Structure formats: C-alpha cells, structure tokens
Amino acid sequence: MRALVTGGAGFIGSNLVDALVERGDEVTVVDNLSTGRRENLDGALARGARLVEADIREGDALRTVFADARPEVVFHLAAQIDVRKSVADPAFDSGINVGGTINVLAAAHAAGVPRVVNTSSGGAIYGEGQGIPAPESHPVAPEAPYGLSKFCAEQYCEIYERMHGLATASLRYGNVYGPRQDPLGEAGVIAIFCGKLLDGGRPTVFGDGLQTRDYVYVGDVVSANLAAAASEATGPFNIGTGVESTVLDIVTALATNADGAFDPDFQPERLGEVRHIALDTTRAQQELAWQARVGLDDGMRITLESLR
C-alpha cells in the first residue's frame, strides 16, 4: 500500500512510519522538521521510505507532494501540540491545526485519496470529564485553544466526507507516551519525568499532582492507526485505556528506578489544563477491533530503557 504520513518525523509519526515500512508499505513522510527529527527516520529511510520537507500550511506545495506520492491512505499527524503555546498564541495554533488540516484534506481530495486517518485529542476536546471514562458523545468543552483547534480539524474532516466522499476517521488519543518522546519537551509527562530521573533531577508537578490522565503507549496508538486505515468506519474514535492515573502515580512508579530520592517539585497549577479525564474506547473495540495491550508499568519501563 502507498501511505503518506504528515508529521512522520515526530514521536508518534516515526513509530507509525516504522510499522508501515515493516509491513512493506511504500511510505512518503511529510515533515517540516520544526519539532520532528530526521534521525527518528534513519531506519525507515534506509529501508526505502521517502522524506519530503514541507509545511502543511503551504497548500500548493502539499498538493504537489500528494500528486507525486499518489497515496492510498493518509495518516495526518502533523500538528501544533503545545497547550501553553495555544493559550499564548491561538492564531498560530489554529493556523497549523485547522488551516494545515484543511490543506491536507484538500490535497488528499485533489489526489483522489480514498481515506484519511486524522490525529485528534480526547482529553483536550472534552475538557473536564463529566463522566469518566468519557465516550465520544461526551460534550465538547475544551479548556484551551489547542483542544478547540483539534475539534475544528475533526469537523473539517467530516465536511470533506459529506461534500466530497473522502472517508475520514479521527483518533482521539489519550496521553501518548513511549520511545522517541522528547524528555526535554513541553508535552509528555512520562518522558519528561524519565529524563529527570536519568539526570538525577526532580520531577516538576504543577498543582497538587492529583490530576488524572489516560496514559496510552505509543505502540498501541500505532496499532490503532493501522486498524483505522483498514476499516471503513468513520468519525471520532477514542484511543486510550479507560484508566485514570494521577501525576503522582507516575512519580511513585518511576521512583522505584531512582538511585536516590525522586521527590516532586511542586509548582502552581497551569491555565488551560483539565483536572480529570479518561477515555471510553468501546467504539474502537467494536468497530476497529482495537484495544490497548500495553499496561502503564510495562510502558514506562520500556520508555525509561529507551532513554538510557
């Protein structure tokens, strides 16, 4: 199969690219390398994947890439993912997450692509969990512009389906973690804490640390993308574990690997953050035949080892 992956040099995208190459797909990666890393693709490029440096905000360039690659499926992972950045500069966030998604959909339609698997966000779209685990029918009430931009992107996927017959599925991830996540980045508390542990530092905890998230391992997210690509089902799908874990749970679990103390450094709570969320994945189980397989303890162990 010919596959195109936007944001394919990033954390999740490069793991997906590896899986596609492994099964023999012809893979084109589109990434502007602003946050993605070429070295994440070293193995895939050596096995025939192709990297095109392009920005999803450049519609004309994107249409040229799509026309050349002639993909049978597009996995759209390129995005602005920093919640803090979205609060400080919502126009910048929207330009990438909404405008960029429109460009991807337009290029896919022009190239005759039959299916697009879009990357979205569970907790950021739902906001504060009114019922946990939250189903796809949970009210949309984002706490930050990031969640709003991802929901708008979903809506553009659906209108392209209604207007042009472009089949789309939007995967609403929980908090994804695993190998290749940046331990120095703004997103990904597990990778950040692993980095602190290995450097002999202290984990920074914003607020009281009792806020909960649904942590899902990157390998499970990759398998969800492959399942969505193989399915004819459309619309939003929660991709998580359905289990709430607190930030302090993560600290406690990692502390068992520390040579010395691994005590939290508590800082004030941050604007725009959801307090409690976990995702109901019943629809993904029933319609995509998918469910998470990797437990949090095993996933954190793998993540820590990948950073050593």
pLDDT digits (tens, 9 = 90+) for 63-116: 999 999 999 999 999 999 999 899 999 999 999 999 999 999 999 999 999 999
Distance of alpha carbon 168 from alpha carbon 263, whole angstroms: 44
Instruction: Decide if pLDDT at 26 tops 90.
Output: yes
**How far is 178 from 191, CA to CA, in rounded Å?**
7
pLDDT of 291 higher than 90: yes
Q: Do 193 and 250 form a contact (C-beta atoms < 8 A)?
A: yes
What is the DSSP code (8-state) at residue 143? Answer: S
At 237, the pLDDT band (50, 70, 90 cuts) reads: very high
In this prediction, residue 273 carries a pLDDT of 81
- Pick the closest to residue 56 from 20, 28, 97, 11 (CA basis): 97
Of 83, 94, 86, the closest CA to residue 57 belongs to: 94
Residues 38, 9 contacting (CB under 8 angstroms): yes
| CA dihedral for 175, 181, 184, 186, sign (positive or negative) | negative
Q: Are 207 and 231 a contacting pair, CB within 8 Å?
A: no
The helix or strand, by DSSP H or E, that contains position 125, with its residue range, turns out to be helix 122-126
Q: What is the pLDDT of residues 164-204, one digit of tens each?
A: 999 999 999 999 999 999 887 767 899 999 999 999 999 99
Given this model, what pLDDT does residue 8 score? 98
Per-residue pLDDT, 270: 85
The secondary structure of residue 254, as a DSSP letter, is H
Please say if 217 is a catalytic residue: no
Mean pLDDT of the chain: 96
The number of angstroms, rounded, from the C-alpha of 59 to the middle of its chain's C-alpha atoms is: 22
Distance CA 234, CA 158 (A): 9
Residue type, 104: V
pLDDT on residue 39: 97
At residue 183, the pLDDT reads 87
Query: What pLDDT shows up at residue 123?
Result: 86
Sign of CA dihedral 284, 290, 295, 296: negative
> What structural domains does the chain harbor?
2-177+216-240+280-293 (3.40.50.720)
DSSP 134: B
Judge whether 160 and 166 are in contact, CB under 8 Å.
yes
Model-level pTM greater than 0.85? yes
Running DSSP on this structure, what letter comes out for residue 98?
I
* Number of Cβ within a 10 Å radius of residue 60: 8
pLDDT at 292 over 80: yes
Helices (H) and strands (E) counted in the chain, each on its own, are 13, 13
Q: Which of 126, 146, 160, 217 is catalytic?
A: 146
DSSP code of 47? T
Percent of the chain with pLDDT over 70: 100
User: What pLDDT does residue 302 have?
Assistant: 95
Q: Half-sphere exposure of residue 50, counting CA atoms within 13 Å on the CB side? A: 14
